[in-house]
Each structure stands twice: as C-alpha cells, then as structure tokens.
Chain A
Amino acid sequence: MAAYIVRRLIQSALILLGVSFITFVLLYVLPADPVRQIAGRSATAATVESIRQQLGLDQPFLVQYGNYLLNLIQGDFGRSYLQKTEVAQLIVSRLPATLLLLVAAIACELLIGLPLGIVAALNRGKMIDNGLMLTSFLTVSAPQFVVALLLLFVFAVKLGWFPIGGYGTFAHIVLPAVTLGILGSGWYSRIMRSSMVDVLRADFIRTARAKGLGRSKVILGHALPNAILPIIAMIGIDIGLFMSGIVVVESVFGWPGIGQLAWQAIQRVDIPIIMGVTLVSACGIVLGNLIADLISPLIDPRIKLR
C-alpha cells in the first residue's frame, strides 16, 4: 500500500513536470506579448525592452523554463505581472472558494445523476427510461454558459430566489453548483444506468433473490455497491472536466475562485498566474484520480493496489 502510494506520487510528479513544460511552451509561442500588456500602448521601445529584461523574458526559452522550475521546486510560483502580488498568495486566497464549489458541484452531479441512472436501469426500455436518457443527452450537450445564463435569468432575475452573483451565503453557491452539476449529472446517469443494467443481469442478483430478499434489499444492498465502482473512477477523471468548467462558471457568477483568476490572467497574458493555476488544477486532477483509486479497493475487495 505504502509502496503503491509512493510510486503513484512519483508518477504524479512526472505528470506535473510534463504539464508545466507543455503549458510553458504554449505560452512561449503565443503571439500575444505580455510585456506590451504591462507597459501599455504608449510605452516607448526602450521601456518595453527594459521591462522585458527585468522579467527575464529576453532569455532563451530553456533558461526561462529552467529558472521557473528552480523557483517552483522552492515553492515559488513567481509574481503576477500586473497584480504585483505573489502568485502563490493569490491562489491560496482563492482556492477555498473553488474547492467549495467543486464539492458542491460533485454532490449535485451525484445527487441528480445516480438516482436517475438507477431509475432508468430499473425501467429499462420503458417510457421513463427513454425520457431520462433523452434528458441526459440534452444536459450533456448544453453549453455551460447557456445553462448559466438561463438559470440566472429564471431563478435570479425573474423569480429572485437566488442572488445574481457573488460569494458568501449558501444561496450564492446554488446556481453555480447546479450549472456545473447539470452537465455532469447527464454523464453520471448514463454511466450509472449501463453499469446497473449489467449488474442486474449478474448471477449473484439471482442468488440474492433466491434467498428471499426483498426488491429494495436486492437493489440497494447487492446491485448498487457493484454498480457504483465505475462511478468512483469517473469522479477522479471528472475533476479535469470540472476545472475547465469553472473558468466559465466562476466568471459568469462572479465567484471569486481560481477559475475567475485564470480568466482575468488569460485576458492579460499574465503568464505566472496562468502557469500557477494550470499546475494547481493539474495537481487536483492527479490527486483526485489517486484518491479514487485508493477508495476503489475499500468497496471492491478484488482490487489489489500493486
């Protein structure tokens, strides 16, 4: 077990190294010039050059990347070009909001998706199954900014049940979490349905019925624990999808998390922030998968971590 975790952590470090390199390359070849953004349109060529030197952006690519890595190993994410603050500080101050949203959104996905998947599986081939699968198709294919605006218009503007944006109370989190959750719930209901359909056909379900167990015990006690396994692996992967979703959703709802931070940084080519947010997100995805893999053997004793 310990050996497994150590090996996975080493793998994770290598993945993060890869992510940092690719992101750095992409930002380097980007036609946008961060120095222009900082100096402003009226700055002279001499000013621009001096800022470039100051930030070390005149150095060759490998030197820039090497310096970034060296600092990173010491826990230094660099300074924001425009906000003149430590990137680490910015991320730390905004991370709790994003984590809160993450937990709320995943809870939302599971609470909507899993029961619908189970209901569909139990009514396979009937109207209710077809209806639910069509709905899940719609939720999966609806763009998030559309869902966000729709929810805002109906529940915030027209009905006034929830605030239009911001952060602070429980009411603030509902609409962003639902926006993120609706997309995921479609995926989860589909996966849960097919997983459940497979499990319901299994021999041990027939054994459970032959014992004289009632329907609810057979479904909740025997089918569900077996059907839930693919879902756990899926949650690990889902964090990646989630990270791309928060950039849009946090911006629309004015949610002060790292997604909003990233959005502002991208607009202004604030490279240290973009790098920092990317690495923290990648870290979240890698850890999420590790945790999912560690949870699986607790549910299925056949899974051995090697």
Chain B
Amino acid sequence: MTAAMLSPIVDTATDVVLSVRDLQVSARSEQGLVPLVEGLSFDLHRGETLAIAGESGSGKSITSLACMGLLPAPAVRVTGGSIRFGETELTSLPEKKMQEMRGARIAMIFQEPMTALNPVMSIGRQLVEAIRAHETLSVAQARARALEALKAVRLSQPEKRLEQYPHELSGGMRQRVMIAMAIALRPAVLIADEPTTALDVTVQREVLDLLRDLQRDLGTAVILITHDMGVVAEMADRVIVMRKGRMVEAAPTIDLFDAPREQYTRDLLAAVPRIGTGASRPDLAKREVLVRYEDVSVNFPIRQGLLGRVAARVHAVEHVSLDIFRGETLSLVGESGCGKSTMAKALVGLVPHTGRIEINGQALGDLDAKGRKAIRRDLQIVFQDPMAALDARMTVGELIREPLVIHGIGTPAEQKARVRELLERVELSPSVYNRYPHQFSGGQRQRICIARALALKPKLIICDESVAALDVSIQAKVLDLLRDLQKESGVTYLFISHDMAVVENISDRVAVMYLGQIVEMGTRAQLFENPQHPYTKRLLEAVPVPDPRRERQATARLSGDIPSPVCKVGEEPQRVELVDIGGGHLVGR
C-alpha cells in the first residue's frame, strides 16, 4: 500500500472531508413533497467519528443514503442544500461520477449483515469485484488485496473465507466481511449505519473495537448512525442528535452527555436503560411455584443419507431445571442460539420436549388436548415484532377479542366491552377498535399485543424480546406498563432478552443461558453485582455504557464464534453442574 493511497483527497487546510450544508431530502407522496431531512448542516473532519443519533424516523439513515447517492429515487431525493466531498459537490454529480466515489472514496456498511451480502456469490468474488470496480488490477492482484482486507478485520482463516458463501458465516463474521469490503479501497469517509444493531452484545463489542482500531490505523473519518447512546458514548468524538428530520443538538460527545442543552436530548438520555438503575423488590413473601422445568431438553434432529437417518442433533435446550414463582419476573438472557426462545416454545407446547414441564402442578405431558387448551389460557406470549404478530387484515378490536372467542368466554357484547377495557388499560383510546394495525406506531402496536395477551387474564406472560424492536423512549414506557400491570394483577413474566440493561431494570431473578444450558442463575442483585461465571462476566463487560468518561478495561480480543450446539448422534454436550454459592445464587462449574 503506497502512501498516496493512504491519504484521502481532502481539503488539507481545514481538514474537512465531508461538508453538508442545509441539506433537504424529501419524499414524493400523495400530499406532495414531504420533507424527511430539513436544514441539516455538519462538517466531518479527517479521522474523527461523528455519531448521528436518533430514534426511528429521525432521518439519520436517509442522511447517510443521501451522502452515498443511494436514495431510493425517484420517490426520495435531495431537494435542497449541498453535500461536498472535498471539492466535489455530490448532490449534482452525474451517476457515472458518483459510482467512482461510492466504495472508493465514501464507503458504507449496513445494519443487516445477514442480508447485505449476495447469497449466491462467494465472499472472495464479492470483495474482488468491489476492488476491481475502482482499480485496474488483475483478479490475482485484487484477490491479494481482498485477503489483506480480511486479515485487517481479524477474520479467522481468511484464505478459507474467500472461498465461502455468506450463509456459511455467522452474523459477526459477515459484518467483518462488510467492513473489509468497505475499507479495502481506503475510503476517506466510512458511513456505518447501525453496524452492530443486529449483532449479539459480545459480537458487537468485537466489531466496535475493530472499527475503532481500523479508524486509528487508517485515519478514516467515520459517520456512525445509531440509536444506541451506549455505542455513541464509546465511539464518537462528536454527536448530532436528530429528530423528525431536523438536527436537535450537535456537541462533542462528553459535553452532550454532561450537559445536554435541549429537552429532547435530556429525555433521550434519561430513557436509555442503564445497568445499575434497577431496584430490587422486597422478596416475594410466599414463593409459590407457577412453572417448573425439570430436566427439560429440546433437540432437533438433522437427517442425512438415503434413508434420512438422524446424523446429528441440535441441542437447543439441554437438561434445564428451573422454577418460575408466581408474581415474579424471571429473565432468560443469552445470545442468539442459546436456547432462550426454545425454552418458551417448549412451555407453550410449540416444540416437543423431553423431561417434565409443570404448570400449576400439572405436567404438560399428562394433559389431553382439552387440558392443553385450558392451560393455554394461562400462558400468553408477546413477541418481538408487533407488526408481524398482528394480522394486518383484522381490526385491532377483533385481534384483541379473538382469544376470548377461541376460548368461548362471554357473549359478543361482553367480549367487546372487555376489549374496550383492555385498550384503555394499555393507554389506547377505545375508539381505535375498528382501526387496522398499520395505522399505529411500533410502540402502540406492541401495546395492542400486550392487550391481546391480557385478554384471557393469564397467569404467565412470556415476553420474547418484546421491547427489542422499540425506540428507547417507547421502550421505557412499555416497560413501565408491564411493571404496572404486574403490580395490579400479580401476573408473572418470563422475560426473554439479549439486552442486559433492560433485564437489569425489570427482573426479579435472572438466568443466563449459554449453548442450551443455564450457566448462572440468581436474583437480579446477585447476578449483576456479583457475576461469577466467565460467560456472565463477558456478557456484562460487553454492554456499551452510555458514559463517555468511562474507561473501558481492555478485554481479550476474540475473533472466534460461539461454538455450535450441534452434536453427532452418540455424542452429548458437556453438562454444566450448578452449584449454590449462597442465597440461592447458582453458578455453573
């Protein structure tokens, strides 16, 4: 790599790489032009990280797409202002010239690593293609450069990765490939749009560390688009807070966190869930068991060969024993594939299990069809994506009423009255009865899902990542609602989440799952104040903390992935033995 290639073409006098002035982006709609971004101005300096933070609909992603010239034309386009890259005005640049910019001078990485790579092209071909689009190199030379980039992003076995296809890599590895592709041509500006949002927290930690190291080595200016104030605190030199297409506040990161000037920024920061703010409730007086898992396992066979013999098994849940007490909130935490959702599915009978699951003292396996239907009244689920969980062709009222109809509770008039009552309870107006799900915002839709779960007055509600898809301010309100409902009705929550801060805020007890087994379990205080198992510690250390002054201890850089829960027939995963270290704090040995 020559020195000339390392130094981006910039206005060296001011060190400004990218300059946005009074940017206006609008969408064409039936009501005419609707502004998506209005009057946005900022300068990006060489080597700095500028975070653009905001909730959904704030226009942060649209801004980044505008800089890339990738707005979904013709519906959305730049309607005013300027974006200058060095001496080049990008808003009026012809497409051919813009292509030369993209990838070479301004590169971008996206939120969803699972879908951002072409599934039918090998990693090597995709990298080589990106390099050869801008530099006249032979395939062999470009391949060498691709390999170098893969090594730079600390991907294990880089030679092998070149031959592999995206589906053979994990999410974290794919995001590394995306980063490799973006930095291969040493762009002056790297736009990272929610680069770690779809990743597990320990993987997020690795990717954030990687981005920081690369930026230091290459001197790239980074625009970091994120909704996560923890990520902002750790990564950014300066922050722009956006709301509804407008800049609310721009400040150096430390100043913004220390003394936010605008009310919106203050609200946003206040809504961010932080570890250490959860309060322990007085120990529940009578600890009555509502749900008991006894040596429960769930595995899925992998079939191969002429006769479809079972060659291996995915050990999704492995000999788990666990009690859920009436009226408490028990959280299951862990990373993707650890078996936390499978635990819930086994409980409601969506996947077959071995071992014994008791609800109210009745074992699921002993029940006939009628008994199972009756017991389902007591168990309800609130899912992660409320839009997907609500039938788009049913009205909100009918959606909430449906469980009452299925279980034949009350006359139609009584059912409708109950629906109105439930709507009020989740702080929606009863007048929305005849509206459809698409007419609501994400947070309101999740309230509808909660109202539906409440319809049957269940004893247990399973919240499977129920607040993960919501903006922080909305998330905080939904968590408050869940807490209030529990106080009123004494409902029990099985709360499944990957977000340690949310878990710390809502839980009474927490169980940490890893590869299908519980590795540590205890009260909220035991687990967060005195984590014992190395995996629990790693999870907690990985959480980005919304405090820019905090010095992060150097953690071991890991480039590997979580091992697979797949075992060949005959082999068994190693069992984790839980030992009580005092006060019911169980730790895996």
| A interface residues, Cβ below 8 angstroms from B | 3, 6-7, 202-204, 206-215, 217, 221-222, 225-226, 299-302, 306
CB <8 Å contact, B133 and A211: yes
Residues of chain B within 8 A of A202, CB atoms compared: 115
* CB-CB nearest in chain B for A10: B306
25 A/B residue pairs, CB under 8 Å, sorted by A: A7-B306, A203-B110, A204-B116, A206-B70, A207-B110, A207-B117, A207-B181, A210-B68, A210-B103, A212-B99, A212-B100, A212-B130, A213-B99, A213-B103, A214-B99, A217-B129, A217-B133, A225-B120, A225-B121, A226-B118, A226-B119, A301-B119, A301-B165, A302-B165, A302-B167
Nearest-neighbour CB distance to chain B for A264, whole angstroms, equals 43
* CB-CB nearest in chain A for B98: A212
Known: A203-B110, A212-B100, A212-B104. 18 other contacts (CB 8 A): A202-B115, A203-B112, A204-B115, A204-B117, A204-B118, A204-B119, A208-B118, A210-B102, A210-B108, A211-B102, A211-B130, A212-B99, A212-B101, A214-B133, A217-B133, A221-B129, A299-B120, A300-B119
User: Quick one: which of B179-213 are within 8 Å of A by CB?
Assistant: 181
B357 within 8 A of partner (CB)? no
CB <8 Å contact, B116 and A203: yes
The one of A209, A301, A306 in contact with B303, judged by C-beta atoms closer than 8 angstroms, is A306
* CB-CB nearest in chain A for B104: A212
B291 within 8 A of partner (CB)? no
Nearest 3 A/B pairs, CB to CB: A212-B103, A212-B102, A3-B306
Of the listed residues A211, A225, A299, A306, the one surrounded by the most CB atoms of chain B closer than 10 A to its CB is A211
B178 within 8 A of partner (CB)? yes
CB <8 Å contact, A213 and B133: yes
CB <8 Å contact, B129 and A213: yes
B416 within 8 A of partner (CB)? no
| B interface residues, Cβ below 8 angstroms from A | 68, 70, 95-96, 99-104, 107-108, 110, 112, 115-121, 129-130, 133-134, 165, 167, 178, 181, 303-306, 308
Residues of chain B within 8 A of A206, CB atoms compared: 70, 110, 116
Q: Bound complex: CA of A3 vs CA of B117, how far in Å?
A: 32
Of the listed residues A208, A226, A306, the one surrounded by the most CB atoms of chain B closer than 10 A to its CB is A208
Residues of chain B within 8 A of A299, CB atoms compared: 120
Q: A226-B119, A301-B167, A306-B303 are in contact. Are A207 and B102 (CB under 8 A)?
A: no
* CB-CB nearest in chain A for B115: A203
Residues of chain A within 8 A of B308, CB atoms compared: 306
Residues of chain A within 8 A of B110, CB atoms compared: 203, 206-207, 210
* CB-CB nearest in chain B for A213: B133
Nearest-neighbour CB distance to chain A for B314, whole angstroms, equals 15
Residues of chain A within 8 A of B70, CB atoms compared: 206, 209-210
Residues of chain A within 8 A of B178, CB atoms compared: 207
Q: Bound complex: CA of A215 vs CA of B102, how far in Å?
A: 13
Residues of chain B within 8 A of A225, CB atoms compared: 120-121
Residues of chain B within 8 A of A208, CB atoms compared: 118
Residues of chain A within 8 A of B120, CB atoms compared: 225-226, 299-302
Residues of chain A within 8 A of B119, CB atoms compared: 204, 226, 300-302
CB <8 Å contact, B304 and A306: yes
Q: Bound complex: CA of A213 vs CA of B178, how far in Å?
A: 15
Nearest-neighbour CB distance to chain B for A125, whole angstroms, equals 10
CB <8 Å contact, B103 and A222: no
* CB-CB nearest in chain A for B102: A212
